[in-house]
A and B are shown apart, each in its own frame.
Chain A
Amino acid sequence: MTDIHVETERVQGHHLLEVKDLFVEFHTRDGVARVINGVSYHLDPGETLAVLGESGSGKSVTAQAIMGILDMPPAKIPKGQILYNGEDLLKMPEDKRRDIRGQQISMIFQDALSALNPVFSVGWQISETLRTRMGMSKADAMKRAVELMDQVKIPAAKARLKDYPHQFSGGMRQRVMIAMSLAMDPKVLIADEPTTALDVTVQAQIMDLLADLRRDLNMGMILITHDLGVVADVADRIAVMYAGRIIEHADVRALYKQPAHPYTKGLLESIPRLDDKGTVLKTIKGLPPNLMRLPTGCKYHPRCPYTQPICVSDEPRSLNLGNGRTSACHFAKEMLSGELG
């Protein structure tokens, strides 16, 4: 019944998930931090959207707003929509919203050691929602937990059911976290820097696992990262965030080929490459902006190598460059044609 409903809605042009012109601010003792300033992105089933940006650009806060786990106060959402199958989550009563949380949209976090509860066994934690929300018996829920652990390739899953998070290695712990997030067959998986806390080799394994799961389960996946290198193989599209805005959005290949925003270009140039070992890595100069006192005009202008007077005075609007590609730069076209940079 619901599936038919969902289908018809998608025919009518709904994305699986769509964030529309979202604003989030934090009201703190020191003032108001405007952390998200008009973010829009969307996600369809079976695709991966990478959300990229420096620390503090608002990637996690956007994700937490989607999940509905921001503490309000201090957070406030003065404007915006978060549409799931065309329905605005922000207008839903809390109990209806809670049904979506974990069941339709679920999330995994950066540091699985602190994100898992230290005093409960992993089997208990994976099966918790099955027992308490899906009404499964304890035995059935545990059986399902073993299946989930098998699915994320935890060796000897059954034997490790009663183990505690601290008894697992970092990579295995993140797999536990992933198994837990899959328990209720979500349609959207938000992965907030799932590999940042791990060794490089383990990072690649976890990314492969996520890519496989996304394909096998036909989920939409939002992959948050500040590492452009990670996303090339996994993501379909990339949204680049800066100071709480999406400053560029493009297909992965198109973006790698020719960035349409100086910030993206800076990010690309700061990835170490295997093929040119000799060259010195470029880094983006300066610091991310103070969210309590944002600069005028383009928020990136104090750090941009191409700054013109118009960048200081006018805030650039998100420019549609065709094929779903957008860039919030006054000189997006010039960037794209290679006239700049």
Chain B
Amino acid sequence: MFRYLVRRFLQMILVFVATTFIVFALMYATGGDPIQALAGERPVSEQQRAQLTKLYGLDQPFLVRYWNYLTGLLRLDFGKALNGRDVSEIIASALPVTAKLALIAIITTIVVGVVAGIIAGVRRGSIFDNSTLVLTLIVIGIPIVTLAPLAQYIFGIKLGWFPATAAGREDDIYALLLPGIILGALSVATAMRLTRASFNENLRSDYVRTARSKGLPGRRVIGVHVLRNSLIPIITFLGIELGALMAGAIVTESVFNVNGIGFNLARALRTEDAPLVVGLVSVLVIIFLVANLIVDLLYAVLDPRIRYE
């Protein structure tokens, strides 16, 4: 187990270095002029240019800059955004917002997707099963770039059930509800189908027959024996889905003006704020890697047949 953890940790570092390197390279090699991007429309004098070049370390070779960035990370120093703020400061304010959003999204996925999947799986072939099957087919087909503005228009503007924008109200859970649910809606259909298939398969297993022959009531057979086995692929899915959620957050947060990681990333890309982009992507990569590690460890907890050596 310990050896496994060490190996996983080294792997994570490797993946982290590789991905951030790629982003770093892409951001600084796109040919744009970062100093002009910083100044916007204003002209930049030679003296200012030299000064800024020095400040951002643009005069050093690429690899040296990347190395400085990496070692900075160890001190939680993400560098400075082009607007002068510490990237770490921006992350510190944006991360909790995105975390809340992701939490709402995951809860939505579980409550709607997993529960509906269980019902559909247990009552296979019922009206509920068939209608949700059709519904998920439709939902899977709608991309989030369509879904988010559509929901904003219907529920935020037309019906007025939710605030149409969360700008400046990131502490208000109510304002985050609609974007969170929309973000979760992405995975609902997949979660439902996966849960349904997993339940279906487990319901047919021999151990279910055994549980029934022990005279256990149906709700215990399903709620304990089948559920516990079906949970294994579902938890794996939810963990991996966190990655997709982060991608979805870029769109959702932009549409609803939620000042989270995704919103800031979209803005940083637009303004070509290379240090900010690299910093935010680094955070996303870390979230993704940690989520995957947690899923793998949970997997071993849920399935005693799995042993990590």
Contact = CB atoms under 8 A, between A and B. Distances in A.
Interface in A98-117: 98-103, 106-107, 109, 111, 114-117
Interface stretch (A10-18, A125-133, A206-214, A255-263): A125-133
Interface string B238-280: 0000000000000000000000000000000000000000000
Given A164-B304, A164-B305, A166-B305, A116 B215 contact: no
A180 interface: yes
Interface in B202-239: 205-207, 209-217, 220, 225, 228-229, 232
B207 A116 contact: yes
A67 interface: yes
Contact of A115 (B210, B228, B302, B303): B210
Contacts of A306: none
Contact of A67 (B213, B229, B232): B213
Contacts of B304: 118-119, 121, 164, 166
Given A98-B215, A180-B214, A117 B225 contact: yes
A340 interface: no
Interface magnitude class on chain A: 20 to 34
Nearest to B208: A117
Nearest to B205: A114
Interface in A68-126: 69, 98-103, 106-107, 109, 111, 114-121
Contacts of A64: 209
A115 B209 contact: yes
Given A109-B206, A111-B206, A119 B212 contact: no
A69 B215 CA distance: 9
B216 A118 contact: no
B140 to A, nearest CB: 28
Contacts of B232: 119
Interface of A: 64, 67, 69, 98-103, 106-107, 109, 111, 114-121, 128-129, 132-133, 164, 166, 177, 180
15 contacts: A67-B212, A69-B209, A98-B215, A101-B215, A102-B213, A107-B213, A109-B210, A111-B206, A115-B207, A116-B210, A118-B229, A118-B305, A119-B304, A129-B216, A177-B210
Interface of B: 205-207, 209-217, 220, 225, 228-229, 232, 302-305
Which 3 pairs from chain A and chain B are nearest by CB?
A102-B215, A101-B215, A114-B206
